[in-house]
A and B are shown apart, each in its own frame.
Chain A
Amino acid sequence: MGIQTCSGAISLSRDLESEATKFYQTLAQTFEKEKELFLAFAKENEKYTKQIERAYYGVITDAIEGCFAFDLDPEDYRFKNTLVKDAGYAEAVAEALMMEETLLKFYRVAAEQSKHLMADVPRAFLSVAKKRSERLSKLKSLLEK
């Protein structure tokens, strides 16, 4: 089922961040050598959720197209945490990279779709997209170590 409403898009963002948080917490438990980095990612995800919710609750108004802002298919962005218990480090980081690319795509698409509507919301999406883009570089560098 597609998502057209702001409320639906914000909830999807919250769900995606929550899944990503759980994923990094698992990685932190599994791979001691990058524990701090993965926990930092998990914490940042919670911050992104708050940032987006704050933007949404701050500017939501019935006068702008809150119910007609998006055309998102959640299935395009949901990732399954398929990491098996004894997966190797490289495999885990590769999965994290895939997840981050999906999230980056979500935030860019959501920002583009809502750009005519409530400026603070697409700005928040873009801000998180930028951070995610930086995170991709960090994850890639882990693979090169």
Chain B
Amino acid sequence: MALLEEPIKGIKEVKNYINGEWVDSKGKIVDVVNPATGKVMGKCPISTKEEINAAVEAAKEAFPDWRRTTPLARSRCLFRLKELLEENFEEISRIQTMEHGKCIDESRGETRRGIENVEVACGIPTLMQGYYSEDIASGIDEWVIPTPMGVFGIIGPFNFPFMIPLWSAPYAVATGNCIVIKPSSEVPFSQMKLAELAEEAGFPPGVWNVVNGGRTVVDGMLEHKDIVGITFVGSTPIGKDVIYKRCGETGKRVIAQCGAKNFMVIMPDCNIKATVPALMTSFFGNAGQRCLAGANLLIVGEDEKFYNSFMEEVTNMSSRIRMGYGMDESIQMGPVRDKEKRDNIMGYIEIGIKEGAKLRLDGRKPKVEGGYPDTCFVGPTIFENVTTDMKIGNDEIFGPVMSVFRAKTLDEAIRICNASPFGNGHAIFTQNGRSARDFQYNVVSGNVGINIGIVAPVAFFPFSGMKDSFFGVLHTQGQEAVRFFTESKVIIQRWF
């Protein structure tokens, strides 16, 4: 099929958005490469400590007035932003495909999910209402007011460049806070576009800031006394040992959504025709680069006939996946974000072979449609006979690699799931309500799927996570985000 038109022509320079101004950074500039085509599409700054400090200062300055702006007026800005996002839906989606490599359907899905969070936050006049009790003692009334706190930092990952900052940003500003977003320097363009639209929507200078960069910006956020809280999505080592720990040391609120190794548990009574496509999306969608991706396929039962026919279906469909540039609408799987990530995945495939797993489908020499370089591509890969002591069955590979386990019973399957240090998005595929209920009750996982391969909560539910997949108390999205971005002020009143 013909390629969709690219919205970014030539090489685009990324700027920081601070205090309502687009400003050049004094930091080092790095190339942003389209991972599918291998072409440089932009230049992104690695901003300095002074620049993150300037953004926090601007946000702090803007906070008193923004806080005093009525919730209705704040939500009007969000309504305008929502309209602008709809108008720019296709451009935003195509930017994501260019900067990240995901297919156009996946990018549009990401755009829709991001917008949904803006839509939910538009309800802030009721979402952030407090509550009141008359006569808690004779003649004394008491009430609670959720109040905004100040400046929040939002640290985005590379795998969902547009959507993930929107799990936090709309709620933070809707509740009256100001924000500084740090997108991943690998994928800065969709956040740049979002900030342009936020500016057009009428957020006052300083309320919405974007500072591009890396570790210096993150450290700057963590160290800054005027940042009251941080939301982070990324790996477990960084989320746990850097973000969560240092937020604790400096007294900041924190949501750290981290790594995963999700099990897709297959019962012999599952609807095979519907399950297999769901598994394709789960394991190979977004090239396996998501914290809700299926990583381990766990087939329950000792029925060899079922196992063989199910694996045949899975392998056949996996081997037919069309890989290439996501701007071609026929493409089902794009590249991983960069060569380093590809090499890491390739390394795990080698490890799997050495560990003795059976390589049923080898993705090391992918066929890339359209003649693009295979620098960042890894094909769907399937290992069978994986056991709990193998690295490929335990480590987060973050790529299109399926490790197949077996369990004799559902109880054994749940034990295997729960032995994982992660608890992000395990799922079961079955037509049996009792099995589904036992699974959802007993499995330790923040998000649980029943015949759903990507257990992604919609905007009005929290994006949960347990064990090493999440550090914090409250979660992003919906009511929990509103609570995270506000603190309770309790008033007790008596009149003499």
Contacts and interface: CB of A to CB of B under 8 A. Distances in A.
Nearest to A74: B1
B224 interface: no
25 contacts: A1-B1, A3-B330, A4-B322, A4-B330, A6-B105, A7-B103, A7-B105, A57-B89, A60-B112, A61-B113, A63-B281, A63-B452, A63-B454, A64-B109, A65-B278, A66-B106, A66-B281, A67-B105, A67-B106, A67-B281, A67-B285, A68-B280, A69-B277, A116-B274, A117-B277
A38 to B, nearest CB: 30
A113 B274 CA distance: 10
Contact of B330 (A5, A59, A66, A117): A5
Report which residue of B102, B280, B292, B332 has the largest number of chain A beta carbons within 10 angstroms of its beta carbon: B332
Interface in A31-76: 57-69
B51 interface: no
Report which residue of A58, A116, A117 has the largest number of chain B beta carbons within 10 angstroms of its beta carbon: A116
Nearest to A118: B109
Contact of B456 (A2, A6, A61): A61
A43 B161 CA distance: 39
A5 B285 CA distance: 12
B354 to A, nearest CB: 31
Given A5-B105, A63-B455, A64-B454, 20 more contacts: A3-B330, A4-B332, A5-B331, A7-B104, A57-B89, A60-B109, A61-B109, A61-B112, A61-B456, A62-B456, A64-B109, A65-B280, A65-B453, A66-B105, A66-B281, A67-B285, A67-B331, A67-B332, A116-B273, A116-B274
A105 to B, nearest CB: 21
Contacts of A8: 1, 329-330
A59 B104 CA distance: 14
Report which residue of A62, A64, A66 has the largest number of chain B beta carbons within 10 angstroms of its beta carbon: A62
A62 B109 contact: yes
A60 B105 contact: yes
Contacts of B273: 116
Nearest to A58: B112
Interface string A1-40: 1111111100100000000000000000000000000000
Given A62-B286, A116-B274, A5 B103 contact: yes
A68 B317 contact: yes
B333 interface: yes
A8 to B, nearest CB: 4
Interface of A: 1-8, 11, 57-69, 116-117
B108 interface: yes
B108 A7 contact: yes
B110 interface: yes
A5 B329 contact: yes
**A-B pairs, 5 with minimum CB distance:** A62-B109, A66-B105, A63-B454, A68-B277, A63-B456
A68 B313 CA distance: 14
A116 B281 CA distance: 14
A57 B332 contact: no
Contacts of B454: 62-64
Interface in B271-298: 273-274, 277-278, 280-281, 285-286, 292
Contacts of B89: 57
A116 B270 CA distance: 14
Report which residue of A6, A58, A64, A67 has the largest number of chain B beta carbons within 10 angstroms of its beta carbon: A67
Contact of B329 (A11, A63, A65, A69): A11
A67 B112 contact: no
Nearest to B456: A63
A6 B330 CA distance: 9
